[in-house]
Amino acid sequence: MKKRLKVALITIISFVVLLTAAFFVYVSDYYKADDVAIAVMQSEDIMRVQDNLIILSPTTPSDTALIFYPGAKVEYTAYIPLLEKLRQNGITCVLIKMPFNLAIFDQNAANKVFDELPDIKNWYIGGHSMGGAMASSYAANQMFSKNPYYPMTVTAKDVTLILEINKTRLFQLFSDNHDFLKSYLEYVSDHTVILGDRIKHYVNRTIRESIISYLYYERKKQNSNIIKLNMTKKALTERIGVQRTSLSRELVKMREDRLIKFDIDSIELL
Say what the pLDDT of residue 42 is. 66
- CATH class in words for 35-153: alpha beta
Say what the pLDDT of residue 144 is. 59
**Separation of alpha carbons 70 and 37, rounded Å:** 14
**Separation of alpha carbons 55 and 112, rounded Å:** 13
- One digit per residue, pLDDT tens: the chain, 270 residues? 566 776 677 777 777 777 666 656 665 666 777 776 667 666 656 677 777 888 888 888 888 888 999 888 888 888 888 888 888 888 899 999 888 888 888 888 888 888 888 888 888 888 887 888 788 777 766 665 555 555 455 667 788 887 777 777 877 887 888 888 888 777 766 666 555 555 554 555 678 887 888 888 888 888 888 888 887 777 777 666 667 788 888 888 999 998 888 888 888 888
DSSP character string of 145-195: SSS---------SS--------HHHHHHHHHH-HHHHHHHHHHHHHHHHHH
The residue extents of the domains of the chain are 35-153, 207-269
Strand order across the 266-269 sheet: 226-228, 266-269, 260-262
**Separation of alpha carbons 89 and 219, rounded Å:** 39
DSSP state of 33: P
Fold for 207-269, please state it: Arc Repressor Mutant, subunit A (1.10.10)
DSSP state of 104: G
**Separation of alpha carbons 107 and 138, rounded Å:** 6
